Amino acid sequence: MTVPSGARYQVGTVHFTVLNDGVFYSDAGAVFGIIPRVLWERVSGPLDERYRIPLALNCLLLRSEGKTILIETGIGGKPGDRDAASPAADGTLMDALAAAGVRPEEVDVVINSHLHSDHCGWNTVVDERAPQDAPLERRVKLGFPNATYYVGAAEWRDATHPNERTRGTYFERNLTPVADHLMLVDGELDITGEVKFVPAPGHTEGHGTVLIHSGRESAIYVGDLAQHRVQLERTVWVSSFDLLPLLSMETKKQLVDRAIEQRSLLIMTHSPYPGVLRPTRNERGFRELLDVSPLEA
């Protein structure tokens, strides 16, 4: 199965392309947290034979004010990065980037919503010139050598000081070379006049979203605020991966309700590719996310 890459959308005068880094599998019970299986299995879609749900890895490419910007870098391609992705790992971000006509050296800005391993994998790649006997974390180089990497300040602090619970997802191999090319973001930050980093705590304390806005139109890359769309529709459905579940509920409520009001698109990392959705309220007043088709080629 080949997943198509490069779904294009437009917000005002800004074009963006969703790039596909494939799919990985995560324990469905963990994704749906305290929600009973009898409820989530109505919406989860098919699981694999180990009760895992396929999660897409949607990244975003756009040009704004002369800058080439990549939002999120997927699960990566270094040894170990895709272990959890098996058996279906179609698509890689670097192939999708090449298909979109962009070389890694041409990326000026990388924005990570947070630094869990399925969101920042291609931040780094294996450096073939490094001594082969060195540990992997010392054999990596930047995946985007000319980029400035934008990350929430609290996220960088937590990723570089993992605790017993977070150690399994904050990998040194995704972080070390980035340290000298970082822009730590505290609060909201305009990266260009059309692209803004907006803190959205809950999944982690330092988690951020990215607002793309032009004229009266906007889109929000929501990162891991939710792994499944139902978690944005019913905000009490919180994943057990969220470190701050009560805050996560509040952040989701505010973000989705404002998006409905302002007719913003929402772009989900883990919804099936391309994961671009329009939030609305259905006739019963409940939040509902509808798929948005890409522009014709």
What number of other Cβ atoms are within 10 A of residue 165's Cβ? 8
Which pair of tokens denotes residue 114? 């947070």
The tokens for 153 are 């300040």
**Which amino acid belongs to residue 268?**
M
- State the minimum distance, in angstroms, from the CB of residue 281 to Zn ion: 27
> Given the complex with Zn ion, which of 109 and 115 has the nearer CB atom?
115
Nearer to Zn ion, 64 or 223 (CB): 223
For Zn ion, the closer CB: 64 or 209: 209
CB of residue 203 vs Zn ion: minimum separation in angstroms?
8
Site string for Zn ion, 71-110 (x = CB under 5 A): ----------------------------------------
Min CB(124)–Zn ion separation in Å: 18
Could you tell me which stretch among 88-96, 100-108, 133-141, 219-227 binds Zn ion (CB under 5 A)? 219-227
Q: Does 224 bind Zn ion (CB under 5 A)?
A: yes
Nearest Cα neighbor of 215 from 274, 267, 263 is 263
Which burial class, exposed, middle or buried, applies to 214 when counting CB atoms under 10 A from its CB (0-12, 13-18, 19+)? middle
Least distance (Å) between residue 194 CB and Zn ion: 25
Residue closer to Zn ion, measured from CB, 64 or 170: 170
Query: With binding defined as CB under 5 A, does residue 242 bind Zn ion?
Result: no
Instruction: Give first-to-last CA distance, the chain, whole Å.
Output: 21
Q: How many whole angstroms separate alpha carbon 234 and alpha carbon 82?
A: 31
Which lies closer to Zn ion via its Cβ, residue 68 or residue 269?
269
- How far is 208 from 271, CA to CA, in rounded Å? 18
State the nearest-atom distance from the C-beta of 103 to Zn ion, in Å: 26
Instruction: State the minimum distance, in angstroms, from the CB of residue 269 to Zn ion.
Output: 6
Query: 169: helix, coil or strand?
Result: coil
Across the beta sheet with 148-152, the strand order is 7-11, 14-27, 52-64, 67-71, 109-111, 148-152, 182-185
Size of the site for Zn ion (CB under 5 A): 2
Query: Which span sits near Zn ion by CB under 5 A: 23-31, 60-68, 221-229, 231-239?
Result: 221-229
Cα 54 versus chain centre, distance: 15
Shortest distance in whole angstroms from residue 57 CB to Zn ion: 8
Q: Which is nearer to Zn ion, 14 or 222 (CB)?
A: 222
Residue with tokens 């070390």: 176
Q: Which of 81, 118, 155, 233 binds Zn ion (CB under 5 A)?
A: 118
H or E element that contains 190:
strand 189-190
- C-alpha separations of 96 from 2, 93, 191 in Å: 12, 5, 24
Nearer to Zn ion, 20 or 64 (CB): 20
**Residues between 179 and 198 that touch Zn ion (CB under 5 A):** none
Nearer of residues 64 and 227 to Zn ion, judged by Cβ: 227
- Here the tokens at position 66 are 């002369």
Tokens 């109505």 belong to residue: 42
Would you tell me which residues interact with Zn ion (CB under 5 A)?
A: 118, 224
